[in-house]
Chain A
Amino acid sequence: MTMNEILLIDDNYIDNFINKKIVAKENIADTITVMLSPIEALDYLANKKDRFPDLILLDIKMPQMDGFEFLIEFSKFPEFKKANCSIVMLSSSQNIMDIATAKKNPHVIDYLIKPLDPSKLNDLLKLLV
């Protein structure tokens, strides 16, 4: 399947580079948007006229605002806007607390540990279908 848009939120340039490469290689989305901070991403989403991205890959540990804080802000968007939007945490943290917290969030459908690779992405796509 192909998605309309995938949003990557990570402060780490290298990780964004890797993720973008993998997603592009798998060719599953029309648009790949990369945001270097959650604040930026919130701004982008708030100003977005058309529908939200189909998938957001969200890092946890980021300066100024971390992934969990982003999730709180995200939940404030109107329901219809985020209806088709799934969020997958993508972090290097293997911390059980982080995994548990992420899985409790209703918007989060999965938790992936970096680095992203094609097999993980494909498993994820299966989940999305």
Chain B
Amino acid sequence: MFVIAAIVIEVLLVSSCILILFNLRDKLGLAPLYILLGCLQYFQVNLENAVSYKFLGEYPIYPGSIVLFSSLLFAVLLIYIYEGVISARTLVIGILISNLFLTGLFEITATQDYFIRLEDDDINLRNTALFNIDYKYFIIGTIILLLDFILLIWVYQFLISKIKRPLFFLTIFLSLWSILIFDSLAFNGILFYGTPYFKVSLFGHFIGKTFAAGIFSIILYVYVTYIDKVLTTTSFIADHNLNIFSIFTIRKKYLDLKVEKEIAEKKLNERFETTLVKISDGVVSLDKNWCYTYVNKKAGEFLNSKPSSLIGKHIWTEFPEGKGLPFYHAYYKAVDTQRAQYFEEYYEPYDKWFENRIYPTAEGLTIYFTDITDKKIAQLALMESEAFNKGILSSLSAHIAVIDKTGKILAVNKAWNDFSLANGEPNLARTSVGSNYINECENAISRGHTLSQKVLDGIWSVLNNKQTSFKMEYPCHSSTEKRWFTFHIEPFESTSNKLVISHTNVTQLKTTEEQLENANEKLNEAQRLAKIGNWEFNPKTKEVYFSDEMYTILELDKGPSKDLFERYRAKCLPEDYDYFNEILINSIKNEEGYEIGYYIKPNDSSLKYIHEIGEVVLDENGKDLILKGTIQDFTKDKLINEELSKKNEELKKANIELDRFVYSASHDLRAPLTSLRGLIQIVDMTLEVEHEELKEPLSLMNTTIDKMDVFIKSIFDYSVNARTKISTEKINFEELIGSVWESLKYMNIKYNPKSTINITQDADFYSDKNRLEIILGNLVSNAIKYYDNNKMERFVNITVTADAKSANIIIEDNGIGIGKEHIDKIFEMFYRATKLSTGSGMGMYIVKETLDRLHGTIEIESELNKGSKFSISIPNAK
């Protein structure tokens, strides 16, 4: 009985110790439990030689050993269930190590004792050894123990995945029991197989260990189920899916996990560091002594120092210039009040704006500062743009106000107030912000201001959404000047009920408009007077524009311009259509203007003659070629022209007739004279000697005939000069003088003066050849005719000097000369300076007349009995 009680006490003691230590694992850790279990193991090893209890008097049971051994398994299982495979394995190893270590230690101690006693000659050496271990037992036991632990976890893991939860006790029991039985088999098999002791020892082990398995299973089950209550509260006790070999493999996973965790932590740290380093904010931490504990890269940049060089330095030693600045005060304020501080400042040394956030921390201060220069610039720009808008509003000449739906004036611009001030409202009470515009309008209406009614109607129509906007032009003349305004109402925003009203001075526009209208009217007037109309025509679209006068000239009704072209064509004569089309096509093709005249039939009874000028231009869009032009009513001019050309025709005819007449007359007059001369000659030839006295009258007859001949020639020359147009041609003086000389040959002049001809010509000379011949012919024939009988040597010199400007011709003779009294008169018609003259008195007159026609001049130097010198000058007609 005592034996059983002792065993029960031992079981309870050991198991409760284990469970208490296990329960306290949160506070103490598992180390005490491990140490306890190591001790238990060591103790158990040393109990191998303890006394056995003979069950049924035959089978040896070692209760102490069994209890301790079972409790070890129990603990391993407990740890495995609760703490997992790692802890279980640690425990197993711990148990083994402490077992080995303690065993070794005690062996050494025992050996020391042994030698000490040997020196003391203690004879009972062997018997006194308290802990004398049988190494065979110990090593085999230890190996089997290791196997037991491993098997226990295998078996448990195997069973837990096969056996259902309500049978948890069975799982525990089978685990423990199978291991204990295995242990028994292994232990006894190795140590006692083949000995007679084997069978009884084995059986004893079976009995004892089965009991032990049952008891510890019960304790474990009770603990799990009823004391710790994890079985009912958690989903399950151990991981179902854990591999049964996890006791080996879990290690690798564990190490991997550990590495992974380290990497993850490192990465996290790095990321945190990078974040701090890379963020655009500068981050600085200060301890309570104002020394830097952290400076990120950005802050280093802002502070112009390496972050690492700042750590540990005193801020105000490093940056003494910061003392007294706003941030200095803010830092102190943050420390003093323990409240975060926020402010923006412009830091001049860097030309930058900073946003500072200062947080008091347990260690001191953490300061974030951000470069907000760009933001600040944008903000300033915004402010400027607001000021700009305001400036624009106030600089606008339009008077602008915003009113709400009741008519209350909410805002006005400068021009609005200025206008009120300038127009007799010094305090702005009636018109500026706060006053009511609608009320003012009503007041004005009651004063008979009709315009205000229109304004009010406009406001209501926009307010009631009848109109989206309202616009009106009105005169507002002051005493000194004429003014016009436009009044404009627009909703302030499409959704709000506010209105923007504006008055704009449009006097200048209006004046310009009036001037334009005036100018237009004048143009129309001018067109009407000149009977000119202007038009535009697009040949592609057949679109036509006619000015007012066009309608008048064409006698068209001012109807719609749709069929205007057809209506215009209807007024034209059908026989002209082809011609018109051709002109149209050609002018568009060649991009060339045209000028035509044609008749139209504006009504049934009359015709008009139209002069049309057209030109080709690009239209306003620069795409199509269009025609633009004018027509002018030329009917009157046409009639005059026709009359004129008829008269001209008649004149031409008359001239031709006169021409023919003069020619015929000169011939017909001269022909009888020559016949007469011939007859006189015949008579002279055949005259008998006895009729000598007839010679004299015959000679006189010849002279008379000559005189008449010269006269007829003069008339002919005169008519040639007066009648014919000047025709310019290049003059060859040599040829000209030659032909003059030639013609004189036929004049029946019977002597031959010595003549010299000198021609100096620098440039081509142009003049009327026929007239030059008349002039030279007369002058040269005079020079020949009026020779001086008293002079033996007679000469006629002709000198011509011609250049680009004029020709000077000098005809000089040593003839009879002209008396001074006659020189001025020789150009008169029928004037004869000498009684010797056989002429008609026409020659020099004709010379002068002809020279006048050529814009030439003549000078005479003459002395009686000495000779004459005629100098003529004729401009080059080139």
Residues of chain A in range 56-114 having any CB-CB distance to chain B below 8 Å: 61, 92-96, 99-100, 113-114
Mark the stretch among A14-22, A30-38, A43-51 that contacts chain B: A14-22
A92–B716 CA distance with the chains assembled, in angstroms = 14
Q: Is A25 part of the contact surface with B, judged by Cβ < 8 Å?
A: yes
Q: In the complex where A15-B678, A21-B682, A117-B681 touch, is A92 in contact with B663 (Cβ < 8 A)?
A: no
In the complex the two chains form, is B677's CB within 8 Å of A61's CB?
no
B-chain residues with CB within 8 Å of residue A114 when the two chains form the complex: 671, 674-675, 677-678
Q: Does A4 contact B (CB under 8 A)?
A: no
A114–B676 Cα gap in the complex (Å)?
10
Q: Is the CB of B681 within 8 A of A12?
A: no
Give bound CA distance, A115 to B675, whole Å. 6
For A116, what are the chain B residues with a Cβ–Cβ distance below 8 Å?
678
- A-B contact sample (5 more), CB < 8 A, given A113-B746, A114-B674, A114-B677: A15-B674, A25-B685, A92-B671, A93-B667, A96-B739
Q: Are A14 and B746 in contact (CB under 8 A)?
A: no
B667 and A92 within 8 A (CB)? yes
Q: Is A115 touching B681 in the complex (CB atoms < 8 A)?
A: yes
Min CB distance, B275 to chain A, in Å?
120
Contacts of A115 in B (CB 8 A): 674-675, 677-678, 681
Do B678 and A96 touch across chains, with their CB atoms under 8 A apart? no
Contact with A along B657-688 (1 / 0, CB 8 A): 00000010011001101110111011001000
Count of A interface residues, CB-CB < 8 Å = 22
Query: Which chain A residues border B675 with CB–CB below 8 Å?
Result: 12, 14-15, 18, 92, 114-115
Given contacts A18-B675, A115-B675, contact A94 B746 (CB under 8 A): yes
Whether the pair B713, A14 counts as a contact (CB closer than 8 A) is: no
Q: Which residues of B contact A12 (CB under 8 A)?
A: 671, 675
B773 near A: Cβ within 8 Å? yes
Question: Which residues of the partner chain B approach A100 to less than 8 Å between Cβ atoms?
Answer: 739
B770 cross-chain contacts in A, Cβ below 8 A: 96
Quick check: B681 and A18 within 8 Å, CB to CB? yes
9 nearest CB pairs, A to B: A115-B678, A18-B678, A114-B674, A113-B746, A92-B674, A14-B675, A92-B671, A115-B677, A92-B670
Interface residues of B in 766-786 (CB under 8 A from A): 770, 773
Contact B681 A99 (CB under 8 A): no
Known: A12-B675, A14-B675, A113-B746. A96 touches B773 (CB 8 A): yes
Contacts of A93 in B (CB 8 A): 667, 670
Chain B window 104-144, contacts with chain A (Cβ cutoff 8 Å), 1 for yes, 0 for no: 00000000000000000000000000000000000000000
Give min CB distance, B49 to chain A, whole Å. 180
A-facing residues in B710-765 (Cβ within 8 Å): 713, 739, 742-743, 746
Q: Are B678 and A61 in contact (CB under 8 A)?
A: no
Closest Cβ of chain A: how far from B289's Cβ, in Å? 136
Smallest Cβ distance from B449 to chain A, in angstroms?
Answer: 96
Query: Which residue, A99, A113, A116, has most C-beta atoms of chain B within 10 A?
Result: A113
Q: What is the CA–CA distance of A94 and B746 in the complex, to the nearest angstrom?
A: 8
Given contacts A61-B667, A96-B773, A114-B674, is CB(A14)–CB(B679) below 8 Å?
Answer: yes
| A111–chain B nearest beta-carbon distance, Å | 8
- Output the least CB separation between A127 and chain B (Å): 14
Task: Indicate if the CB atoms of A94 and B679 lie closer than 8 Å.
Answer: no
- B interface residue numbers (CB < 8 A to A): 663, 666-667, 670-671, 673-675, 677-679, 681-682, 685, 713, 739, 742-743, 746, 770, 773
A43 to chain B, nearest CB (A): 25
Alpha-carbon gap, A94 to B748, bound state (A):
12
Q: Which of A12, A25, A92 has the most CB of B within 10 A?
A: A92
> Which A residues touch B671, using CB under 8 A?
12, 61, 92, 114
Residues on A with beta carbons closer than 8 Å to the beta carbon of B742: 99
Chain A residues near B (Cβ < 8 Å): 12, 14-15, 18-19, 21-22, 25, 61, 92-96, 99-100, 113-118
**Nearest CB in chain A: distance from B769 CB, A:** 9
Q: State the CA gap A114–B673 with chains docked (Å).
A: 9
Which residues of A are found within 8 Å of B673, using beta-carbon distances?
92
CB A92 to nearest CB in B, in angstroms, measures 4
Point out the residues of chain A lying under 8 angstroms from B670, CB to CB.
92-94
**Beta-carbon contact of B773 and A18 below 8 Å:** no
- Chain B residues with CB under 8 Å of A113's CB are 674, 746
Evaluate whether A94 and B678 lie within 8 angstroms (CB atoms) in the complex, with A12-B671, A25-B685, A61-B667 already known.
no
Provide the residues of chain B in CB contact with A117, threshold 8 Å: 678, 681
User: Within the assembled complex, what's the spacing in Å between the Cα atoms of A125 and B671?
Assistant: 25
What distance in Å separates the Cβ of A90 from its nearest Cβ neighbour in chain B? Answer: 10
Contact A94/B713 with A18-B679, A115-B677 known, Cβ cut-off 8 Å: yes
- In angstroms, Cα B747 to Cα A113, docked, is 9
Most central of B666, B667, B742, B743 by chain A CB within 10 Å? B667
Enumerate chain A residues within 8 angstroms of B674, measured Cβ to Cβ.
15, 92, 113-115
CB distance from A28 to the nearest CB of B (A): 15
For the complex, give the distance between the alpha carbons of A22 and B667 in Å: 23
B687 to chain A, nearest CB (A): 13
**CA A125 to CA B685, docked complex, whole Å:** 20
Tell me, rounded to whole Å, the shortest Cβ–Cβ distance linking A24 to chain B: 11
- A18 near B667 with CB under 8 A, answer no
**A14 CB to nearest chain B CB (Å):** 4
CB proximity of A67 to chain B, nearest CB, Å: 12
The complex places the Cα of A21 from the Cα of B675 at a distance, in Å, of 13
**CA gap between A22 and B685 in the complex, in Å:** 9
> For the complex, what is the distance from the CA of A12 to the CA of B671, rounded to whole Å?
9
* Among B673, B679, B739: residue with most chain A CB under 10 A: B679
A93→B674 CA distance, assembly (Å): 10
**A117 to B, closest residue via Cβ:** B681
| B738: min CB distance to chain A, Å | 12
Nearest A-chain residue to B713, judged by Cβ: A94
Q: How many Å lie between the Cα of A14 and that of B742 in the bound state?
A: 27
Q: How far, in Å, is B839 (CB) from chain A's closest CB? A: 15
Instruction: Report the bound CA distance from A18 to B678 in whole Å.
Output: 6
Q: Which residue of B lies closest to A14 (CB)?
A: B675
Q: Determine how close the nearest CB of chain A comes to the CB of B176; give it in whole angstroms.
A: 164
Q: Please name the residue on chain A nearest to B773 by beta carbon.
A: A96
A100 to chain B, nearest CB (A): 8
A113–B667 Cα distance when bound, in Å, is 12
Bound-state CA distance A92–B673 (Å) is: 9
Cα distance A10–B673 in the bound complex, in angstroms: 16
Give chain A residues whose Cβ lies under 8 Å from the Cβ of B666. Answer: 95
Closest to B677 in A: A115
A89 vs B508: C-alpha distance when bound (angstroms): 90
Residues of A within 8 A of B739 (CB): 96, 100
Give 6 pairs: A residue, B residue, CB < 8 Å, sorted on A. Answer: A14-B675, A61-B667, A94-B713, A95-B666, A113-B746, A114-B678
Residues of A near B682 (CB, < 8 A) are: 18, 21-22
The smallest C-beta distance from A69 to any residue of chain B, in angstroms, reads 16
Contact B681–A95 (Cβ < 8 Å): no
Cα distance A126–B742 in the bound complex, in angstroms? 18
Please name all residues of chain A whose beta carbon is closer than 8 Å to the beta carbon of B677 when the two chains form the complex: 114-115
**Distance, CA A113 to CA B709, complexed state (A):** 12
Cα-based distance from A21 to B670 in the complex (angstroms):
21
**Chain B: which residue is nearest A111 at the CB level?**
B746
Beta-carbon nearest neighbor of A90 in chain B: B674
